[in-house]
Structure 1
Amino acid sequence: MNIREITEDVFYVGVNDRTTDRFENLWPLPYGVSYNSYIVKGSEKIALIDTVEIGTIRDYIRAIESQIGDAQIDYLVINHMEPDHSGGIPSILEHYPMAKLVGNRQTISMVKGYYHIEDDRFIEVGDGAELNLGNKNLKFYLTPMVHWPETMMTYVEEDCILFTGDALGTFGALNGGVIDTEMNTDWYWDEMYRYYSNIVGKYGRFVQKALAKVSGLDIKYVCSTHGPIWHENIGKALDIYNRLSQYESEPGVTIIYGSMYGNTAEVAEEIGRQLAARGVKNIKIHNASKSNMSYMISDAFRYEGLIVGSPTYSMQIFPPVEQFLIAMSTREIKNKVFATFSSFTWASAASGKMKEYAEKMKLDIVDSLDMKQSATQFTFEDAARLAENVVAVLTKR
């Protein structure tokens, strides 16, 4: 059995990266990441779908040769130009000098800018264009801003395969198998939430347009550029991306707080206890000074309630908490049951500043709590009231 063969004459030739610490030099990769590339071998022509990050090029060339031997690649289809997928382009063109680059107008402009390739190497395609390989035909669907302006998808009707670029991708390297039927995929779902919220989160409306564009296709395999090939779990992967791109959430509450000396942290813990006492089971509490931004963003996207707490720091929001609010604002987060709590010693400012972020994000504040210096019995009563008001809105949904 060729573990890399998806369907007859369609092969996986991607590679794993278990060395890089942070994706985009930002997001942790505790389980590594895969850079996925594919070969479609027609009766007359061979197409390569996307390439890989430049540091993995030796393993990549070997993977290609293991599937096609000494045959030449005729077309390199570029679904996404981000360097973790396009870094291998110069090496591929050197190794396969007759190959033509296939991409849309935006793609071609970016390839020229990044890799300084001559005009005669390109074939420009538009939305709905087709490229014949003999007994297999490639059809292209432009899906801009998922999550770069040039992104597109490629469909092989004969095999019911959709190559989706970054869409429906996840963090996490592949551990032997490449198709979901060959592995236990349970742990990939949390990594999919994190990947979507960290990388794609801002572009929900464009993801919705892309999903609608390909919704009428007969799809038996979804081949993204990161993570497993989806076959038996296509429905689940589509459901997660569909819900997240509509800013729909799961039941639960995420609490993000900052604390210098433990007083604001005490309020965060009390709010968590009060939520649990009212039946909320999915509660994630993050100390913004310690938790990685990647996981805070993921949980904020995933769960319906979002409660943010901060001490007043130089008449501003505590910096790690403000960085989180900036990340939420950048991703245009929506549809959250939002509440705030804050603390101060001699002058309250964090509360008002968080209200400004709520207005910017167009989120109504369900309740807020402002504590002077340290917690009292009144503070705990306010925490119970805040939890009660948040739960009341959660229950209505």
Structure 2
Amino acid sequence: MYCVKKINKQLFWVGGTDRRLALFENAYPIPKGISYNAYLLLDDKTVLFDTVDRAITEQFFENIEALLRGRTLDYVVVNHMEPDHCATLGEIVLKYPDVKIICNVKTVPIIKQFYNFDIDSRAIIVKEKDIFSSGSHTFTFFMAPMVHWPEVMVTYDMTDKVLFSADAFGTFGAMNGNLFADEIQFEREWLDDARRYYTNIVGKYGPSVQTLLKKVSVLDIQLLCPLHGPVWRENISWYVEKYLTWSSYEPEEKSVMIAYGSIYGNTENAANILAGMLGDRGVKHIAMYDVSSTHPSIILSEAFRCSHLVFASSTYNGGIFSNMEHVLMEMKAHGLQNRTVAIIENGSWGVLSGKQIQELLGSMKNMTILENMITIKSSLKEGQLEELETLADQIVASMA
């Protein structure tokens, strides 16, 4: 049975949700599930904006057929060719053999990599700011390479002021009956997933995101339709401001994230004491994570949120504790920069993790490493509490 949501008089959401998938892209935990958004416009010509992941194929086609009511599908706009949005493109072509595919020149070879149908005969190639009409609606297109694939574009409905934004402004999380962001407690219940989605999926490509934001800043956007998560019709500027912050690698707030890698609990103890000292000094919204029990995507997301980071790591096999090293490499791979960092190292013999953390952080952009790295040998001694107090003072002073 179909399940569609009306957006306006002629535009409908025809996507679906998946609450069974454990790992998005087989990499990122999604305990709240994921939505795959596609949109169908019923104008003089019918236009589908992207397709969906194979997991919700049956729901997707039931939705489309219920709305078309025997009409044919005239066009599919491919804003992004990643399989979670185009896994059903081949079936669309089989069901609607006369359908035309609107895309840019970079999309065509990727379609050929995934499919064997004749794309050349049905492709309508668009360039930056080209115009297309479906009848009463007029569209224009903006190229958005590396947000987060090279072929990405966004589509703007000049008639209804709708931006179909591809993966930009998406978020993890399944839809639960409410389609619009103003119908849910987005900041309280969705923002963490939106940040984690951005930082892990798009975060590496901040300059590309900035370029796209500059392009669309001149548009009157009344509806924002991403490929994952809720549709925005109110307070759009608030969400855009988040993207401006994240894509510039500036922290959302002056706070501290502490990530620790502890084998027998002694490194964790030092991290807990430091956190308490920071709290006593008025630091709010402190976050603490055990790198052995917390997925790196969560820690990376919090590193984008916080201005200051503390890495407390045991030495393991003469190097950084393996799970901590994984977290740090993820941060480097996703382009994290512009942060102030403190280091605590531990080891019973050959304490080497701190120096190697310094070297890794030194290979990242604009990372300020605080002096006076704390070295623990097996367990924290009472005489070292003063060192932690000094470090806490130094962190707070650097927030001013």
CA distance in 1, matches of 2:97, 2:159: 28
> What does 1:91-130 align with in structure 2 at a 5 Å threshold?
91-118=91-118, 119-130=120-131
**Other-structure match for 2:52:** 52
How far does residue 3 in structure 1 lie from its aligned partner after superposition? Answer: 6.9
Hey, what's the Cα distance between the residues in 2 that align with 1:275 and 1:11?
Answer: 49
The counterpart of 1:226, out of the listed 203, 223, 228, is: 228
Task: State the shift of 1:324 in Å.
Answer: 0.4
Using the alignment, how far apart are the partners of 2:153 and 2:12 within structure 1?
20
Maintained 8 Å contact 1:20/1:32: yes
CA distance in 2 between partners of 1:260 and 1:327 (Å): 21
Give the corresponding residue for 1:149: 150
Deviation at 1:168, TM superposition (A): 0.5
Residues 131 and 365 (structure 1 numbering): CA distance in 2 closer, same or farther, change over 3 Å? same
User: 1:184 offset after TM fit, Å?
Assistant: 3.6
Q: Which residue of 346, 355, 369 maps to 2:374?
A: 369
Task: Work out whether residues 338 and 368 of structure 2, in 8 Å CA contact, stay in contact via their aligned partners in 1.
Answer: no
Contact kept? 2:145, 2:208, Cα under 8 Å: yes
Q: Confirm or deny: 8 A CA contact 1:13 1:37 kept in the other structure.
A: yes
Amino acid across the alignment from 1:294: S
2:163 aligns with 162
Structure 2 CA distance for aligned equivalents of residues 159 and 81 of structure 1: 25
8 A Cα contact 2:256 2:285, kept in partner: yes
Give the Cα–Cα distance (whole angstroms) in 1 for the partners of residues 189 and 69 of structure 2. Answer: 35
Note the residue ranges of structure 1 that are not aligned, 5 or more in a row. none
AA at the equivalent of 1:10: L
Matched residues in 1 for 2:249 and 2:383: separation? 35
Aligned 8 A contact 2:4 2:63 in 1: no
From 343, 346, 356, the counterpart of 1:343: 346
Match of 1:333 among 332, 336, 359: 336
Q: Deviations over 1:129-187 (max 9, x none)?
A: 12111111121110111111111100001100000000011111111121223434341
Q: Which runs of 5+ in 2 are unaligned?
A: none
Q: Which residue type is aligned with residue 310 of structure 1?
A: S
Q: CA RMSD in A?
A: 1.3
More displaced, 162-171 or 236-245?
Answer: 236-245
Q: Tell me, what secondary structure is at the counterpart of 2:132?
A: strand
C-alpha distance after superposition, 1:72-125 (max 9, x if no partner): 111111101111001010111111111111111111110111112312121111
> Structure 1: which amino acid aligns with 2:148?
H
CA distance in 2, matches of 1:26, 1:128: 35
In the other structure, the counterpart of 1:379 is 384
- After the TM superposition, which residues 12-27 of structure 1 pair with which residues of structure 2 at under 5 Å, given as runs? 12-27=13-28
- Tell me by how many angstroms 1:371 deviates: 1.2
Deviation readout 1:51-82 (Å, 9 max, x if unpaired): 00012110000111222211111111110111
The secondary structure found in structure 2 opposite 1:212 is helix
TM-score (norm 1): 0.97
SS of residue paired to 1:108: helix
Match of 2:174 in 1: 173
Q: Which residue of 2 aligns with 1:5?
A: 6
Q: Who is 1:33 aligned against?
A: 34
CA separation in 2, counterparts of 1:170 and 1:192?
Answer: 4
Identity %: 38
Change (3 A) 1:182 1:345: closer
The SS at the match of 1:257 is: strand
Alignment: residue pair count:
393
Distance 1:383 1:66 in 2: 64
TM-score, structure 2 normalization: 0.96
SS in 2 for 1:388: helix
